[in-house]
Chains A and B, each alone.
Chain A
Amino acid sequence: MRRFFKIYRILVAQNLKRIIEYKADFLTGAVSFLIDQAVGIAFIFIIFSQIPQLAGFTFEQIVFIYGFSQIPKGLDHLLTDNLWCVGYFIVKKGDFDKYLTRPINPLFHVIAETFQVDAIGELIVGIVLMVYVSGSVNLYITPLSVILFILVIPFAAMIYTAVKIAAGALAFWIKSSGFIIQMVYGMNEFAKYPTTIYSSFVRILVTYIIPFAFTGYYPSIYLLTGQNPLFNIGGTVLMSVIVMSIALLIWHKGLSAYESAGS
Protein backbone atom coordinates (compact mmCIF):
# COMPACT_ATOMS: atom_id res chain seq x y z
CA MET A 1 0.00 0.00 0.00
CA ARG A 2 2.80 2.39 0.91
CA ARG A 3 4.46 1.57 -2.34
CA PHE A 4 1.30 2.60 -4.19
CA PHE A 5 1.23 5.97 -2.45
CA LYS A 6 4.85 6.56 -3.24
CA ILE A 7 4.40 5.77 -6.93
CA TYR A 8 1.26 7.87 -7.01
CA ARG A 9 3.06 10.82 -5.50
CA ILE A 10 5.82 10.63 -8.07
CA LEU A 11 3.38 10.41 -10.97
CA VAL A 12 1.28 13.32 -9.70
CA ALA A 13 4.39 15.39 -9.23
CA GLN A 14 5.26 14.71 -12.87
CA ASN A 15 1.83 15.94 -13.88
CA LEU A 16 2.12 19.09 -11.81
CA LYS A 17 5.45 19.89 -13.42
CA ARG A 18 3.79 19.64 -16.80
CA ILE A 19 1.09 22.06 -15.68
CA ILE A 20 3.63 24.62 -14.56
CA GLU A 21 5.30 24.25 -17.94
CA TYR A 22 2.05 24.84 -19.85
CA LYS A 23 0.26 27.41 -17.70
CA ALA A 24 -1.95 28.67 -20.51
CA ASP A 25 -3.29 25.17 -21.13
CA PHE A 26 -4.16 24.67 -17.49
CA LEU A 27 -5.97 28.02 -17.41
CA THR A 28 -7.91 27.20 -20.57
CA GLY A 29 -8.99 23.89 -19.09
CA ALA A 30 -10.03 25.23 -15.70
CA VAL A 31 -11.75 28.32 -17.14
CA SER A 32 -13.65 26.28 -19.70
CA PHE A 33 -15.12 23.96 -17.07
CA LEU A 34 -15.92 27.01 -14.96
CA ILE A 35 -17.83 28.63 -17.82
CA ASP A 36 -19.55 25.36 -18.60
CA GLN A 37 -20.87 25.37 -15.04
CA ALA A 38 -21.79 29.05 -15.10
CA VAL A 39 -23.97 28.39 -18.14
CA GLY A 40 -25.72 25.57 -16.28
CA ILE A 41 -26.50 27.93 -13.41
CA ALA A 42 -27.66 30.70 -15.74
CA PHE A 43 -30.11 28.18 -17.15
CA ILE A 44 -31.59 27.38 -13.71
CA PHE A 45 -31.68 31.08 -12.94
CA ILE A 46 -33.66 31.94 -16.06
CA ILE A 47 -36.21 29.21 -15.31
CA PHE A 48 -36.68 30.44 -11.76
CA SER A 49 -37.18 34.01 -12.92
CA GLN A 50 -40.55 32.75 -14.17
CA ILE A 51 -41.64 30.33 -11.46
CA PRO A 52 -41.22 30.50 -7.66
CA GLN A 53 -40.76 26.76 -7.16
CA LEU A 54 -39.85 23.73 -9.20
CA ALA A 55 -41.61 20.54 -8.13
CA GLY A 56 -41.64 21.86 -4.58
CA PHE A 57 -38.01 22.94 -4.51
CA THR A 58 -36.83 26.51 -4.15
CA PHE A 59 -34.14 28.06 -6.33
CA GLU A 60 -31.58 27.75 -3.55
CA GLN A 61 -32.37 24.09 -2.97
CA ILE A 62 -32.00 23.26 -6.64
CA VAL A 63 -28.70 25.12 -6.73
CA PHE A 64 -27.57 23.18 -3.66
CA ILE A 65 -28.33 19.85 -5.34
CA TYR A 66 -26.66 21.02 -8.54
CA GLY A 67 -23.61 22.22 -6.64
CA PHE A 68 -23.24 19.01 -4.69
CA SER A 69 -23.57 16.88 -7.81
CA GLN A 70 -20.49 18.60 -9.24
CA ILE A 71 -18.21 17.57 -6.35
CA PRO A 72 -18.13 13.77 -6.81
CA LYS A 73 -18.05 14.38 -10.54
CA GLY A 74 -15.09 16.73 -10.22
CA LEU A 75 -13.28 14.42 -7.82
CA ASP A 76 -13.58 11.51 -10.23
CA HIS A 77 -12.58 13.76 -13.13
CA LEU A 78 -9.50 14.92 -11.20
CA LEU A 79 -8.23 11.43 -10.39
CA THR A 80 -9.32 8.97 -13.08
CA ASP A 81 -9.54 10.91 -16.33
CA ASN A 82 -7.17 8.53 -18.08
CA LEU A 83 -9.90 5.85 -18.20
CA TRP A 84 -11.47 7.77 -21.08
CA CYS A 85 -8.28 7.27 -23.04
CA VAL A 86 -8.38 3.52 -22.44
CA GLY A 87 -11.80 3.44 -24.07
CA TYR A 88 -10.99 5.84 -26.86
CA PHE A 89 -7.51 4.96 -28.06
CA ILE A 90 -5.03 3.33 -25.66
CA VAL A 91 -6.30 -0.17 -26.41
CA LYS A 92 -6.98 0.55 -30.06
CA LYS A 93 -3.47 1.81 -30.71
CA GLY A 94 -1.96 -1.14 -28.87
CA ASP A 95 -0.46 1.13 -26.22
CA PHE A 96 -2.04 -0.86 -23.43
CA ASP A 97 0.83 -3.37 -23.53
CA LYS A 98 2.92 -0.80 -21.71
CA TYR A 99 0.82 -1.15 -18.55
CA LEU A 100 1.01 -4.92 -18.62
CA THR A 101 4.78 -5.02 -18.67
CA ARG A 102 5.16 -2.89 -15.55
CA PRO A 103 5.37 -4.48 -12.11
CA ILE A 104 2.33 -2.65 -10.75
CA ASN A 105 -1.41 -3.22 -11.04
CA PRO A 106 -2.38 -2.05 -14.55
CA LEU A 107 -5.62 -0.41 -13.40
CA PHE A 108 -3.76 1.53 -10.73
CA HIS A 109 -1.16 2.57 -13.26
CA VAL A 110 -3.74 3.78 -15.78
CA ILE A 111 -5.49 5.85 -13.14
CA ALA A 112 -2.33 7.22 -11.53
CA GLU A 113 -0.90 8.33 -14.84
CA THR A 114 -3.17 11.34 -15.23
CA PHE A 115 -4.00 13.97 -12.70
CA GLN A 116 -6.55 16.09 -14.51
CA VAL A 117 -6.42 19.58 -13.06
CA ASP A 118 -9.15 20.84 -15.40
CA ALA A 119 -11.49 19.35 -12.81
CA ILE A 120 -10.64 22.21 -10.45
CA GLY A 121 -13.31 24.19 -12.33
CA GLU A 122 -16.05 21.74 -11.36
CA LEU A 123 -14.87 21.41 -7.77
CA ILE A 124 -14.65 25.15 -7.21
CA VAL A 125 -18.08 25.79 -8.70
CA GLY A 126 -19.62 22.97 -6.67
CA ILE A 127 -18.18 24.20 -3.38
CA VAL A 128 -18.90 27.87 -4.06
CA LEU A 129 -22.52 27.15 -4.98
CA MET A 130 -23.12 25.06 -1.88
CA VAL A 131 -21.54 27.62 0.42
CA TYR A 132 -23.35 30.46 -1.34
CA VAL A 133 -26.84 29.04 -0.82
CA SER A 134 -26.14 27.37 2.54
CA GLY A 135 -27.43 30.45 4.36
CA SER A 136 -30.78 30.49 2.58
CA VAL A 137 -31.65 26.79 2.71
CA ASN A 138 -32.53 25.12 5.98
CA LEU A 139 -29.74 22.60 6.20
CA TYR A 140 -30.00 19.73 8.60
CA ILE A 141 -26.73 20.19 10.42
CA THR A 142 -25.60 17.96 13.26
CA PRO A 143 -22.07 16.64 13.80
CA LEU A 144 -23.19 13.25 12.56
CA SER A 145 -24.91 14.57 9.43
CA VAL A 146 -21.88 16.60 8.42
CA ILE A 147 -19.53 13.66 8.93
CA LEU A 148 -21.83 11.36 6.95
CA PHE A 149 -22.16 13.94 4.20
CA ILE A 150 -18.42 14.33 3.80
CA LEU A 151 -17.78 10.59 4.04
CA VAL A 152 -20.27 9.90 1.28
CA ILE A 153 -18.43 12.05 -1.29
CA PRO A 154 -15.68 9.51 -2.14
CA PHE A 155 -18.30 6.80 -2.46
CA ALA A 156 -20.36 8.96 -4.81
CA ALA A 157 -17.24 9.68 -6.86
CA MET A 158 -16.59 5.93 -7.02
CA ILE A 159 -19.89 5.48 -8.87
CA TYR A 160 -18.50 7.64 -11.67
CA THR A 161 -15.21 5.77 -11.61
CA ALA A 162 -16.96 2.40 -11.69
CA VAL A 163 -19.00 3.41 -14.71
CA LYS A 164 -15.85 4.50 -16.52
CA ILE A 165 -13.94 1.35 -15.59
CA ALA A 166 -16.75 -0.94 -16.71
CA ALA A 167 -17.45 0.88 -19.97
CA GLY A 168 -13.75 1.44 -20.64
CA ALA A 169 -12.95 -2.25 -20.07
CA LEU A 170 -15.28 -3.19 -22.90
CA ALA A 171 -12.49 -1.92 -25.14
CA PHE A 172 -10.57 -5.10 -24.27
CA TRP A 173 -13.11 -6.99 -26.35
CA ILE A 174 -14.16 -4.44 -28.95
CA LYS A 175 -10.94 -2.34 -29.17
CA SER A 176 -12.66 1.03 -28.85
CA SER A 177 -15.40 1.72 -26.32
CA GLY A 178 -15.15 5.49 -25.98
CA PHE A 179 -18.64 5.94 -27.32
CA ILE A 180 -20.04 3.58 -24.68
CA ILE A 181 -18.37 5.55 -21.89
CA GLN A 182 -19.74 8.71 -23.47
CA MET A 183 -23.25 7.26 -23.57
CA VAL A 184 -23.36 5.87 -20.05
CA TYR A 185 -21.44 8.75 -18.51
CA GLY A 186 -23.85 11.16 -20.20
CA MET A 187 -26.58 9.89 -17.92
CA ASN A 188 -25.03 11.86 -15.08
CA GLU A 189 -27.14 14.75 -16.41
CA PHE A 190 -29.98 13.12 -14.52
CA ALA A 191 -28.11 13.56 -11.22
CA LYS A 192 -28.27 17.34 -11.30
CA TYR A 193 -31.99 17.64 -10.65
CA PRO A 194 -34.43 16.05 -8.17
CA THR A 195 -35.35 12.55 -9.26
CA THR A 196 -38.97 13.32 -8.40
CA ILE A 197 -39.36 15.18 -11.71
CA TYR A 198 -38.68 12.06 -13.79
CA SER A 199 -41.04 9.30 -14.80
CA SER A 200 -40.83 6.17 -12.68
CA PHE A 201 -38.92 4.33 -15.41
CA VAL A 202 -36.15 6.93 -15.50
CA ARG A 203 -36.16 7.12 -11.71
CA ILE A 204 -35.57 3.39 -11.36
CA LEU A 205 -32.93 3.51 -14.08
CA VAL A 206 -30.83 6.21 -12.41
CA THR A 207 -31.37 4.82 -8.91
CA TYR A 208 -30.81 1.10 -9.29
CA ILE A 209 -29.29 0.40 -12.69
CA ILE A 210 -26.86 3.21 -13.46
CA PRO A 211 -27.07 4.80 -10.03
CA PHE A 212 -26.10 8.38 -10.83
CA ALA A 213 -28.94 9.67 -8.65
CA PHE A 214 -26.75 8.68 -5.68
CA THR A 215 -24.03 11.06 -6.84
CA GLY A 216 -26.21 14.13 -6.51
CA TYR A 217 -29.80 14.14 -5.46
CA TYR A 218 -29.95 11.54 -2.68
CA PRO A 219 -26.97 12.70 -0.59
CA SER A 220 -27.98 16.34 -0.93
CA ILE A 221 -31.58 15.69 -0.02
CA TYR A 222 -30.31 14.16 3.20
CA LEU A 223 -28.56 17.37 4.17
CA LEU A 224 -31.55 19.42 3.04
CA THR A 225 -34.14 17.46 5.04
CA GLY A 226 -32.34 15.09 7.40
CA GLN A 227 -34.68 12.33 6.28
CA ASN A 228 -33.90 8.72 5.44
CA PRO A 229 -30.17 8.59 6.18
CA LEU A 230 -30.29 4.85 5.69
CA PHE A 231 -31.41 5.15 2.07
CA ASN A 232 -29.84 8.47 1.12
CA ILE A 233 -26.40 7.90 2.61
CA GLY A 234 -26.31 4.15 3.23
CA GLY A 235 -27.77 3.55 -0.22
CA THR A 236 -25.02 5.61 -1.81
CA VAL A 237 -22.32 3.61 -0.05
CA LEU A 238 -23.97 0.29 -0.86
CA MET A 239 -24.59 1.14 -4.51
CA SER A 240 -21.10 2.47 -4.88
CA VAL A 241 -19.58 -0.75 -3.53
CA ILE A 242 -21.84 -2.89 -5.71
CA VAL A 243 -21.14 -1.07 -8.98
CA MET A 244 -17.43 -0.90 -8.22
CA SER A 245 -17.30 -4.66 -7.62
CA ILE A 246 -19.10 -5.29 -10.89
CA ALA A 247 -16.79 -2.88 -12.70
CA LEU A 248 -13.67 -4.56 -11.32
CA LEU A 249 -15.02 -7.93 -12.30
CA ILE A 250 -15.58 -6.72 -15.88
CA TRP A 251 -12.13 -5.16 -15.92
CA HIS A 252 -10.42 -8.40 -14.84
CA LYS A 253 -12.43 -10.48 -17.29
CA GLY A 254 -11.43 -7.97 -19.94
CA LEU A 255 -7.76 -8.11 -19.05
CA SER A 256 -7.71 -11.86 -19.54
CA ALA A 257 -9.51 -11.51 -22.86
CA TYR A 258 -7.17 -8.74 -24.01
CA GLU A 259 -5.14 -9.24 -27.13
CA SER A 260 -2.75 -6.59 -28.27
CA ALA A 261 -3.78 -4.52 -31.25
CA GLY A 262 -2.07 -2.15 -33.61
CA SER A 263 1.37 -2.25 -35.09
Chain B
Amino acid sequence: MKAGVQTLIAYRMNFFGFAIGGLIYCFVMYYLWKAVFGSSGSDNFMGFSMVDMTLYLFLSNITSQLTFSSVCDDVGEEIKYGTIVMRLIKPVNTDMSYLANEMGGNGMKFIISTMPMIIGIEIYRFFAVGQVMFHIGSFALYLVSVILAYLISFRVNLCFGFMAFYVKNLWGMNILKNSIINFLSGMLIPLAFMPDFLRKTLEYMPFSSMNYTPVMIYMGKYSIYETVFRLLVQAVWAVIIYALSKIIWLGAIKRLSVQGG
Protein backbone atom coordinates (compact mmCIF):
# COMPACT_ATOMS: atom_id res chain seq x y z
CA MET B 1 0.00 0.00 0.00
CA LYS B 2 2.76 2.36 0.92
CA ALA B 3 4.47 1.56 -2.37
CA GLY B 4 1.26 2.54 -4.16
CA VAL B 5 1.16 5.91 -2.41
CA GLN B 6 4.78 6.51 -3.34
CA THR B 7 4.21 5.55 -6.97
CA LEU B 8 1.32 7.96 -7.22
CA ILE B 9 3.39 10.76 -5.76
CA ALA B 10 6.25 10.01 -8.16
CA TYR B 11 3.96 9.87 -11.17
CA ARG B 12 1.63 12.59 -10.01
CA MET B 13 1.99 14.41 -13.29
CA ASN B 14 0.53 11.44 -15.15
CA PHE B 15 -2.29 11.28 -12.67
CA PHE B 16 -3.05 14.98 -13.09
CA GLY B 17 -2.93 14.54 -16.86
CA PHE B 18 -5.65 11.93 -16.65
CA ALA B 19 -7.64 13.83 -14.03
CA ILE B 20 -7.68 16.97 -16.17
CA GLY B 21 -8.46 14.90 -19.26
CA GLY B 22 -11.46 13.50 -17.36
CA LEU B 23 -12.57 16.98 -16.37
CA ILE B 24 -12.40 18.21 -19.98
CA TYR B 25 -14.59 15.28 -20.93
CA CYS B 26 -17.06 16.22 -18.16
CA PHE B 27 -17.30 19.73 -19.54
CA VAL B 28 -17.92 18.53 -23.09
CA MET B 29 -20.71 16.36 -21.75
CA TYR B 30 -22.02 19.20 -19.60
CA TYR B 31 -22.45 21.47 -22.62
CA LEU B 32 -23.92 18.66 -24.64
CA TRP B 33 -26.53 17.95 -21.98
CA LYS B 34 -27.21 21.64 -21.59
CA ALA B 35 -28.00 21.76 -25.28
CA VAL B 36 -30.17 18.66 -24.88
CA PHE B 37 -32.13 20.26 -22.06
CA GLY B 38 -32.36 23.48 -24.05
CA SER B 39 -33.74 21.61 -27.05
CA SER B 40 -36.18 19.44 -25.12
CA GLY B 41 -37.89 22.57 -23.78
CA SER B 42 -38.49 21.20 -20.29
CA ASP B 43 -36.47 21.19 -17.08
CA ASN B 44 -36.94 17.52 -16.64
CA PHE B 45 -35.39 14.91 -18.89
CA MET B 46 -36.54 11.41 -17.92
CA GLY B 47 -36.50 12.19 -14.20
CA PHE B 48 -33.23 14.12 -14.26
CA SER B 49 -32.97 17.88 -13.90
CA MET B 50 -29.96 19.76 -15.28
CA VAL B 51 -28.56 19.98 -11.75
CA ASP B 52 -28.98 16.21 -11.39
CA MET B 53 -27.26 15.68 -14.71
CA THR B 54 -24.29 17.89 -13.82
CA LEU B 55 -23.98 16.11 -10.51
CA TYR B 56 -24.18 12.78 -12.25
CA LEU B 57 -21.41 13.64 -14.74
CA PHE B 58 -18.94 14.79 -12.12
CA LEU B 59 -19.77 12.08 -9.60
CA SER B 60 -19.41 9.47 -12.26
CA ASN B 61 -15.99 10.88 -13.08
CA ILE B 62 -14.95 10.90 -9.41
CA THR B 63 -16.19 7.35 -8.98
CA SER B 64 -14.28 6.15 -11.99
CA GLN B 65 -11.10 7.68 -10.57
CA LEU B 66 -11.65 5.93 -7.27
CA THR B 67 -12.46 2.59 -8.82
CA PHE B 68 -9.66 2.90 -11.36
CA SER B 69 -7.50 -0.16 -11.64
CA SER B 70 -4.48 -0.53 -13.87
CA VAL B 71 -4.02 -4.18 -12.98
CA CYS B 72 -5.10 -5.06 -16.52
CA ASP B 73 -2.00 -3.34 -17.93
CA ASP B 74 0.26 -4.49 -15.13
CA VAL B 75 -0.60 -8.16 -15.45
CA GLY B 76 -0.75 -7.88 -19.24
CA GLU B 77 2.75 -6.41 -19.44
CA GLU B 78 4.16 -9.00 -17.08
CA ILE B 79 2.66 -11.78 -19.16
CA LYS B 80 3.82 -10.22 -22.41
CA TYR B 81 7.39 -9.77 -21.24
CA GLY B 82 7.47 -12.95 -19.21
CA THR B 83 8.35 -11.22 -15.93
CA ILE B 84 5.24 -12.86 -14.45
CA VAL B 85 7.40 -15.88 -13.64
CA MET B 86 9.28 -13.74 -11.15
CA ARG B 87 6.02 -13.19 -9.30
CA LEU B 88 5.05 -16.83 -9.51
CA ILE B 89 8.18 -17.98 -7.72
CA LYS B 90 7.73 -15.52 -4.85
CA PRO B 91 5.84 -16.71 -1.79
CA VAL B 92 3.40 -13.78 -1.90
CA ASN B 93 -0.14 -13.99 -3.20
CA THR B 94 0.06 -12.30 -6.63
CA ASP B 95 -3.37 -10.59 -6.73
CA MET B 96 -3.13 -9.41 -3.16
CA SER B 97 0.14 -7.60 -3.75
CA TYR B 98 -1.43 -5.76 -6.69
CA LEU B 99 -4.55 -5.00 -4.69
CA ALA B 100 -2.70 -3.56 -1.72
CA ASN B 101 -0.53 -1.46 -4.02
CA GLU B 102 -3.50 0.04 -5.82
CA MET B 103 -5.57 0.73 -2.75
CA GLY B 104 -2.76 2.91 -1.46
CA GLY B 105 -2.80 4.93 -4.68
CA ASN B 106 -6.57 5.25 -4.76
CA GLY B 107 -6.64 6.30 -1.11
CA MET B 108 -4.27 9.13 -1.99
CA LYS B 109 -6.54 10.14 -4.87
CA PHE B 110 -9.41 10.33 -2.43
CA ILE B 111 -7.56 12.95 -0.43
CA ILE B 112 -5.98 15.03 -3.18
CA SER B 113 -8.69 14.86 -5.82
CA THR B 114 -12.00 13.47 -4.61
CA MET B 115 -12.45 15.66 -1.56
CA PRO B 116 -11.89 18.96 -3.43
CA MET B 117 -14.21 17.82 -6.23
CA ILE B 118 -16.95 16.77 -3.81
CA ILE B 119 -16.71 20.14 -2.11
CA GLY B 120 -16.86 21.86 -5.49
CA ILE B 121 -19.94 19.87 -6.49
CA GLU B 122 -21.70 20.61 -3.22
CA ILE B 123 -21.00 24.34 -3.58
CA TYR B 124 -22.43 24.19 -7.09
CA ARG B 125 -25.47 22.33 -5.81
CA PHE B 126 -25.94 24.81 -2.98
CA PHE B 127 -26.09 27.72 -5.42
CA ALA B 128 -28.24 25.84 -7.92
CA VAL B 129 -30.82 24.57 -5.44
CA GLY B 130 -30.53 27.18 -2.71
CA GLN B 131 -30.02 24.85 0.23
CA VAL B 132 -27.39 22.45 1.52
CA MET B 133 -28.18 19.07 -0.04
CA PHE B 134 -25.17 17.19 1.29
CA HIS B 135 -26.28 14.17 3.25
CA ILE B 136 -23.70 12.48 5.44
CA GLY B 137 -25.60 9.16 5.42
CA SER B 138 -25.70 9.03 1.64
CA PHE B 139 -22.02 9.88 1.55
CA ALA B 140 -21.16 7.05 3.95
CA LEU B 141 -23.20 4.57 1.92
CA TYR B 142 -21.54 5.93 -1.21
CA LEU B 143 -18.14 5.11 0.25
CA VAL B 144 -19.22 1.54 1.05
CA SER B 145 -20.56 1.19 -2.46
CA VAL B 146 -17.37 2.64 -3.98
CA ILE B 147 -15.24 0.10 -2.13
CA LEU B 148 -17.38 -2.74 -3.46
CA ALA B 149 -17.25 -1.14 -6.90
CA TYR B 150 -13.47 -0.99 -6.71
CA LEU B 151 -13.21 -4.66 -5.77
CA ILE B 152 -15.34 -5.59 -8.78
CA SER B 153 -13.41 -3.25 -11.05
CA PHE B 154 -10.13 -4.73 -9.85
CA ARG B 155 -11.24 -8.30 -10.62
CA VAL B 156 -12.77 -7.39 -13.99
CA ASN B 157 -9.51 -5.66 -14.94
CA LEU B 158 -7.56 -8.67 -13.76
CA CYS B 159 -9.66 -10.93 -16.01
CA PHE B 160 -9.00 -8.62 -18.97
CA GLY B 161 -5.31 -8.64 -18.08
CA PHE B 162 -5.27 -12.43 -18.35
CA MET B 163 -6.38 -12.02 -21.95
CA ALA B 164 -2.73 -11.22 -22.60
CA PHE B 165 -2.19 -14.98 -22.57
CA TYR B 166 -4.13 -15.06 -25.83
CA VAL B 167 -3.74 -11.63 -27.46
CA LYS B 168 -0.64 -9.48 -27.39
CA ASN B 169 -2.22 -6.19 -28.51
CA LEU B 170 -2.78 -4.81 -25.00
CA TRP B 171 -3.45 -1.27 -26.17
CA GLY B 172 -6.33 -2.42 -28.37
CA MET B 173 -7.68 -4.60 -25.56
CA ASN B 174 -7.62 -1.61 -23.27
CA ILE B 175 -9.64 0.58 -25.63
CA LEU B 176 -12.09 -2.26 -26.07
CA LYS B 177 -12.43 -2.81 -22.34
CA ASN B 178 -12.87 0.87 -21.59
CA SER B 179 -15.52 1.50 -24.22
CA ILE B 180 -17.50 -1.56 -23.13
CA ILE B 181 -17.32 -0.60 -19.48
CA ASN B 182 -18.04 3.09 -20.10
CA PHE B 183 -21.22 2.23 -21.90
CA LEU B 184 -22.51 -0.65 -19.79
CA SER B 185 -21.64 0.93 -16.44
CA GLY B 186 -23.69 4.04 -17.14
CA MET B 187 -20.69 6.34 -17.24
CA LEU B 188 -21.44 7.56 -20.73
CA ILE B 189 -25.18 7.88 -20.31
CA PRO B 190 -27.23 7.20 -17.16
CA LEU B 191 -28.84 3.78 -17.31
CA ALA B 192 -32.11 5.48 -16.38
CA PHE B 193 -32.22 6.92 -19.92
CA MET B 194 -31.91 3.59 -21.67
CA PRO B 195 -34.84 1.61 -23.05
CA ASP B 196 -36.56 -0.33 -20.28
CA PHE B 197 -35.47 -3.88 -21.07
CA LEU B 198 -31.89 -2.77 -21.57
CA ARG B 199 -31.86 -0.81 -18.34
CA LYS B 200 -33.26 -3.72 -16.33
CA THR B 201 -30.72 -6.12 -17.80
CA LEU B 202 -27.81 -3.77 -17.24
CA GLU B 203 -28.82 -3.01 -13.67
CA TYR B 204 -28.20 -6.65 -12.81
CA MET B 205 -24.93 -6.89 -14.68
CA PRO B 206 -21.62 -6.38 -12.90
CA PHE B 207 -20.84 -3.23 -14.89
CA SER B 208 -23.54 -1.07 -13.31
CA SER B 209 -22.13 -2.07 -9.92
CA MET B 210 -18.85 -0.48 -10.96
CA ASN B 211 -20.10 3.07 -11.41
CA TYR B 212 -23.85 3.60 -11.67
CA THR B 213 -24.84 2.19 -8.26
CA PRO B 214 -22.49 4.34 -6.12
CA VAL B 215 -23.41 7.49 -8.05
CA MET B 216 -27.14 6.90 -7.69
CA ILE B 217 -26.68 6.22 -3.98
CA TYR B 218 -24.82 9.48 -3.52
CA MET B 219 -27.50 11.38 -5.38
CA GLY B 220 -30.18 9.86 -3.16
CA LYS B 221 -32.07 8.43 -6.11
CA TYR B 222 -32.66 5.13 -4.29
CA SER B 223 -34.93 4.46 -1.34
CA ILE B 224 -33.41 2.83 1.76
CA TYR B 225 -34.75 -0.56 0.75
CA GLU B 226 -33.43 -0.20 -2.78
CA THR B 227 -30.02 0.98 -1.54
CA VAL B 228 -29.59 -2.11 0.60
CA PHE B 229 -30.69 -4.29 -2.29
CA ARG B 230 -28.21 -2.61 -4.68
CA LEU B 231 -25.36 -3.01 -2.20
CA LEU B 232 -26.22 -6.70 -1.97
CA VAL B 233 -26.14 -7.02 -5.75
CA GLN B 234 -22.70 -5.44 -5.67
CA ALA B 235 -21.49 -7.81 -2.97
CA VAL B 236 -22.77 -10.84 -4.87
CA TRP B 237 -20.97 -9.70 -8.02
CA ALA B 238 -17.79 -9.04 -6.09
CA VAL B 239 -17.81 -12.69 -4.99
CA ILE B 240 -18.73 -14.09 -8.42
CA ILE B 241 -16.06 -12.08 -10.25
CA TYR B 242 -13.52 -13.07 -7.62
CA ALA B 243 -14.24 -16.74 -8.27
CA LEU B 244 -14.20 -16.18 -12.02
CA SER B 245 -10.80 -14.53 -11.96
CA LYS B 246 -9.42 -17.48 -9.98
CA ILE B 247 -10.82 -19.99 -12.48
CA ILE B 248 -9.46 -18.07 -15.49
CA TRP B 249 -6.10 -17.81 -13.77
CA LEU B 250 -5.88 -21.55 -13.21
CA GLY B 251 -6.87 -22.24 -16.82
CA ALA B 252 -4.57 -19.60 -18.29
CA ILE B 253 -1.46 -20.44 -16.35
CA LYS B 254 -1.26 -23.77 -18.15
CA ARG B 255 -0.90 -21.85 -21.40
CA LEU B 256 1.87 -19.63 -20.12
CA SER B 257 4.59 -19.44 -22.69
CA VAL B 258 7.34 -17.07 -21.81
CA GLN B 259 8.99 -15.23 -24.66
CA GLY B 260 12.65 -14.64 -24.09
CA GLY B 261 14.56 -14.74 -20.86
Contacts and interface: CB of A to CB of B under 8 A. Distances in A.
Contact of A35 (B20, B34, B35, B176): B176
A46 B39 contact: no
Contact of A39 (B38, B45, B174, B179): B179
A257 interface: no
A51 B40 CA distance: 6
Given A50-B45, A179-B17, A43 B24 contact: no
Interface string A180-193: 10110011011001
Nearest to B21: A186
Interface in A41-60: 42-43, 46-47, 50-55
Contacts of A176: 13-14
A179 B168 contact: no
Given A32-B175, A193-B32, A39 B188 contact: yes
A29 interface: yes
Contacts of A55: 35, 38-39
B36 A33 contact: no
Given A35-B180, A54-B39, A179-B14, A193 B188 contact: no
B21 A46 contact: no
A147 interface: no
Given A39-B182, A50-B45, A179 B35 contact: no
A189 B25 contact: yes
B13 A179 contact: yes
Contacts of A43: 183, 188-189
Interface string B165-200: 011110111111011101100001100011000000
B213 to A, nearest CB: 20
Interface residues of B, number: 40
A188 to B, nearest CB: 10
Nearest to A37: B179
Nearest to B45: A50
A28 B167 contact: yes
B249 interface: no
Interface string B32-74: 1011101110000110000000000000000000000000000
A189 B23 CA distance: 12
A32 B179 contact: yes
Interface in B185-235: 188-189, 193-194
B14 A197 contact: no
Contacts of A39: 179-180, 182-183, 188
A178 interface: yes
A113 interface: no
B27 interface: yes
B124 interface: no
B110 to A, nearest CB: 20
A25 interface: yes
Contacts of A47: 32, 36, 189
B172 A183 contact: no
Nearest to A191: B28
Nearest to B184: A39
Nearest to A181: B17
B40 A50 contact: yes
A54 B36 CA distance: 6
A202 interface: yes
A142 to B, nearest CB: 31
Contacts of B180: 35, 39
17 contacts: A29-B171, A29-B172, A32-B172, A33-B172, A39-B179, A39-B188, A42-B183, A50-B46, A55-B38, A176-B13, A178-B14, A179-B18, A182-B18, A183-B21, A186-B25, A187-B24, A193-B32
Interface of B: 13-14, 16-18, 20-21, 24-25, 27-28, 31-32, 34-36, 38-40, 45-46, 166-169, 171-176, 178-180, 182-183, 188-189, 193-194
